[in-house]
Chains A and B, each alone.
Chain A
Amino acid sequence: MNLDQITITPVFPLWLILLLFSLGFASAVIQYRFMLGRLGRPRALGLSLLRLGAISFLIAFALNPSLVAKKEHKVSPAIAILLDTSQSMGQPGRPGKASRLEEAKALLTEGTNPLLKSLNERFEVRLYGVGESMRTIEVKELGDLKTHGMNGNLSETLKDLSGKNTLALLLSDGNLKWNEGQPTNLPIVTVPLGNPGEYKDILIKAVKAPSLAFRGREVMIDATIKSYGYTGLTLPVLLKEGNKLITAKNTHINASPGEVTVSLSFIPDEVGQKNLSISIPQQFGESLVSNNSVNLSVKVVRDKIRILMVSGNPSMNYRFMRTALKSDPSIDLLSFVILRTPSDILNVPTHEQSLIPLPVETLFSKEIKNFDLLIFDNFKYPLYLSPHHLESIREFVRGGGGFAMIGGPNLANEGRYQVSPIGEILPVRFAEKEDYRRDSKAGVRLSRAGVLHPITRLSSDLTGDDADRLHFWREMPPLDGFNLLEAKSSATVLLESSDGIPWPILTVSSYGNGRVLALATDYSWKWYMGMVAKGKGNHAYLRLVDRMVRWLTKDPSMDPVQIALPESAGSIGQEIEVRIKLREEDLSPNLRSMVSFSVFNPDGLKVESRIKPSGQSGEYLGSFLPEKGGIYKLKVATSTGSLEESMVVTGLLESLDAAPNHEQLKKVSASTGGKFLSTSDELLKEIESYARKGESRFIEEKRSSVWARPFVMILVLGFLILEWYFRRRWGLV
């Protein structure tokens, strides 16, 4: 035991310990003086020293002296071998190797002196797979290891490995996410896989497209094309909807690797979901074909509902309907009013009157397709329109347009037109004897179908519940005139006259892909002023017109449900959540339990999905887990209707840039203090020399308290016993 092995850790402050020593010493001096006269100097001194020794030892307890024993240990370096298992590692490796992963396996396990075995003999080695997440790999699993998932995140991986390892050995093609500025104390030695010089591929790296487009307005889609090994090539970029080619553009590749952005544009002519794809044809020698196309989904909506309205004469019905249509900023109204008929006499030259001829040929032959809805308001159309115009109107409706005929005296005696194209599309036919009645007022009532139909259902704040809704319509002022019509068997009567024979007042039906409505009165404006007269405002009339227009034009807002998709495309393996909102009128308790949510994968197979209330009234959250890329169809059904939407789930290999990125590996090595090796280097030697630099030693320290040793206690007791013995002998006790 050396003195330098002793350390003290006082249990009291040092000044207190020194004070105690001083007191002990003073008591020994006093004792000496006291005994000096009786025992003489030698004996008094001897006893006092014995007492001083005992006291000193006892006070020295407070210094808590310990003996420290130190022992040096060597630590064998721990090496983490990181094996990149992301999808790009499935691409061909160096010649003779089916994939980069196989190339990595060969590096670790093949040869006369396999690298993995050699490292295991010298160091503590752990093997990890780095894909979308990091996992430990047993050596025996190595043979069956497959590539899977998106590019791994090396930065996240290092957070888990730092502090536990001396060195990391990364075998990768460089397609890893790496945050260069991330601090780490784990040097990474990188071994590049794959051969960038031999890699050939053309891929659609990115697509910039709006998720929402407007019908009739140009949609621009930018596709960024990246290429490796095809310098000088000119290739077409195709935009398709299903198998139908929408547009194509050639692009020239100037460099390798090189990037070029191609802008594709088209003008959607129909509303609805458009499932599109951008593709480039496969080129000779391409390593990867699945990244040559990208799916995208664009929802086409109308910017405005375009309405063409022709009125037979200036009337209150025209003015109030115009007021309603003009008050809606989403409606673009083009209206014509027949201010004078051929039998009216004009008494001024043309330049003194504001009348313009009705451009029937332009409107009904050329421009009709640009409208969503055609309204004839008390319009004696046979006077103005030729048979081919009527044919054109029929085709317009058959193709998906809306048509509304508003009644009035001008339509009297029109029975002969029942065989015309207009008569064919109308949901009603004229009664034979009397076409227009103005001799008595007629109230209206909701039919059974009208109680539930979206046009007349209106909203509960206007009409209350079903019983109130019936009362609401009965309360409306009577009509001063209406056409006597008969509903066709395929039509649905929503409102009918409430006095006597229930003549249909508001009737709807479908024709081809379009919708048709007949309002058999030119006095519906009284519903507007009737409510105003009662002090209830004009909301009910405006709402009724709005609902008629939107129903006729199949506006999405009339869908029983709305589906809000996530803003970005979904990814495989990540749960996708969509928000489902029921229409306000469909929120009766019975309907809530009848909402269903189904999801169909790109192959048309139903996949597992869930639906749950979101916590907000009438709102649900639907979710599913996509297992493959492509376009998924989502279907929500309620008892009042259903809605289908589609969304894109990005495939794993879609847009995959699998070119070996050895520059990235060089950056990883440089920024972590590691080294970029080559497969041709003597890997074991390089790694060993690098690992040895990180070999560490540590000194183990053991402390044992001096007072815990028996001889110290014996020494104290010895002082006290010896003093007691001499006191007794010299007659002091």
Chain B
Amino acid sequence: MGEGGQTEMISRRNFLSFGLGLAAGLFFKAPKLLFGAPLPHFFFSQLKYRGGAWDPNPQFAEAVMEELELRTSIDGIKERRVTTLSDPDLFFYPFLYMAGKYEFDPFTPQERETLKRLLSYGGFLLAEDTVGAKGFGFDQAFRREMKQLFHDHELRRLPLDHSVYQSFYLIENIGGRQKVNPYLEGITIDNWTPVIYSQNDLSGAWSRDKFGKWVNECIPGGEIQRSAAFKLGINIIVYSLTSDYKKDVIHHPFIKRRQSS
């Protein structure tokens, strides 16, 4: 995305937050997800776990969902749903999101069994270490749990031609609040990657307060890095709903051509 695109996004957000956003917010409530209510096509379901800090960026969803609505045909809702591994509706959540900074308590055997079944049969998990450095609390705990869940599949760096980098935008730069890794990691089973793991704090880059100001600075790339984080977020969401669709033969020559242009 060039500069122009970034400026456009900021202007729109300013408009939304300081203009109509504030005024309309006094009169209209954002749609709320009620337990047991029908599910929209897309929403974030954030996993609440024991120990550590399960919600490092509580204001991450709104901006990225606005971006999703604006750029794509996906019908989403800005409100996130907080869930646990014992939630009976867990299997009906299209996108499970898990973030943290610190080490968390090990999952119980029952929780592990549930999560493994969910992810083995079509569920999707985006996990984020938001601490901004490698090898600390959340990172260690998450890798430990993934090792427990998938003995035969390791978290591996996703190759540059992975569908997640091509599902909507053709991604070349990995964004985020921090630039810890220039790549995403994931657990791939057959042609589907049910677990994607980022250490760049994407949700930190997406977070915006109720006045429309970014909560965090993106370091070191600034707004370009934030823009890249939004693009990657869109791609991850589209990937979670289309799988390796972009690997179909008909798309391949188009993508190759555009990448080489």
Contact = CB atoms under 8 A, between A and B. Distances in A.
A529 B170 contact: no
Given A314-B238, A347-B71, A530-B91, 14 more contacts: A313-B72, A315-B75, A318-B242, A319-B243, A323-B122, A344-B71, A348-B2, A349-B2, A354-B168, A354-B258, A480-B38, A528-B122, A532-B117, A532-B121
Contacts of B26: none
B122 A314 contact: no
Given A337-B245, A345-B71, A440 B38 contact: yes
A315 B41 contact: yes
Contacts of A355: 168
B73 A477 contact: no
A347 B9 contact: yes
Interface of B: 1-2, 5, 8-9, 36, 38-39, 41-42, 70-75, 88, 90-92, 94, 117-118, 121-123, 166-170, 192, 231, 237-238, 240-243, 245-246, 248, 250-251, 254-255, 258-259, 261
B122 A347 contact: no
A69 to B, nearest CB: 98
Contact of A319 (B122, B168, B254): B122
A490 interface: no
A353 to B, nearest CB: 5
5 contacts: A313-B73, A314-B74, A353-B168, A438-B38, A526-B92
A533 B91 contact: yes
A314 B242 contact: yes
Nearest to A481: B38
B196 to A, nearest CB: 15
A442 B3 CA distance: 48
Scoring A346, A354, A409, A533 by chain B CB atoms within 10 A of each residue's CB, the highest score goes to A354
A477 B122 contact: no
A323 B191 CA distance: 10
Contacts of A441: 36, 38
Interface in A509-551: 522-523, 526, 528-530, 532-533, 535, 537-538
Contacts of B192: 323
Contacts of A360: none
Given A314-B238, A352-B169, A347 B8 contact: yes
Nearest to B121: A532
B73 A356 contact: no
A146 to B, nearest CB: 66
Given A335-B245, A441-B38, A533-B91, A314 B169 contact: no
B118 A532 contact: yes
A350 interface: yes
A316 interface: yes
Contacts of A439: 38
Interface string A50-88: 000000000000000000000000000000000000000
B94 A339 contact: no
A356 B254 CA distance: 7
Contacts of B117: 532, 535
Contacts of A416: none
A452 to B, nearest CB: 30
Contact of B241 (A315, A333, A409, A538): A315
A320 interface: yes
Interface in A338-368: 338-341, 344-356
A349 to B, nearest CB: 7
A340 B121 contact: no
A137 B41 CA distance: 89
Contacts of A318: 241-242
A480 B170 CA distance: 33
Contacts of A530: 91-92
A144 B12 CA distance: 107
A340 B72 contact: yes
Interface in A405-433: 409
A352 B241 CA distance: 20
Contacts of B9: 347
Contacts of B41: 313, 315-316, 522
B243 A353 contact: no
B136 to A, nearest CB: 34
A346 B9 CA distance: 11
Nearest to A482: B38
Contacts of B118: 532
Contacts of B8: 347
A215 interface: no
Contacts of B5: 347-348
Which 7 A-B pairs rank lowest in CB-CB distance, beginning with the nearest? A480-B38, A314-B241, A533-B91, A313-B73, A347-B5, A532-B121, A529-B91
A356 B245 CA distance: 12
Nearest to A314: B241
A313 B242 CA distance: 9
Nearest to B67: A347
Interface in A533-585: 533, 535, 537-538
A334 interface: yes
A339 B72 contact: yes
Nearest to B70: A345
Residue among A314, A348, A355 with max Cβ neighbours from chain B (10 Å): A314
Contact of B250 (A315, A334, A338, A347): A334
Contacts of B242: 314, 318-319, 322, 337
B73 A353 contact: no
B170 A354 contact: yes
A606 B245 CA distance: 54
A312 B71 CA distance: 15
Contacts of A339: 72-73, 168, 238
Nearest to A353: B169
B2 A529 contact: no
Contacts of B258: 350-354
Given A313-B75, A347-B9, A335 B248 contact: yes
B83 to A, nearest CB: 13
A257 to B, nearest CB: 53
Contact of B243 (A322, A334, A336, A529): A322
Residue from B2, B39, B41, B42 whose CB has the most chain A CB atoms within 10 Å:
B41
A351 B74 CA distance: 22
Contact of A312 (B73, B91, B255): B73
Contacts of A526: 92
Contacts of A333: 248
A368 to B, nearest CB: 15
Given A334-B248, A528-B122, A346 B71 contact: yes
A348 B250 CA distance: 22
A336 B167 CA distance: 12
A671 B33 CA distance: 97
Nearest to A346: B71
Nearest to A359: B250
Interface in A600-655: none
A354 B71 contact: no
A523 B254 CA distance: 31
Contacts of B246: 354
A169 B83 CA distance: 99
Given A319-B122, A323-B243, A347-B9, A314 B38 contact: no
B259 to A, nearest CB: 8
Nearest to B235: A354
A340 B67 CA distance: 12
Contacts of A353: 168-170, 258
A538 B71 contact: no
B38 A354 contact: no
Contacts of B237: 314
Contacts of A316: 41, 94, 241
Given A322-B243, A345-B70, A354 B251 contact: yes
B1 A352 contact: yes
Interface string A169-180: 000000000000
Most buried by B among A347, A523, A528, A529: A347
Contacts of A334: 248, 250
A225 to B, nearest CB: 43
Contact of A351 (B71, B94, B261): B261
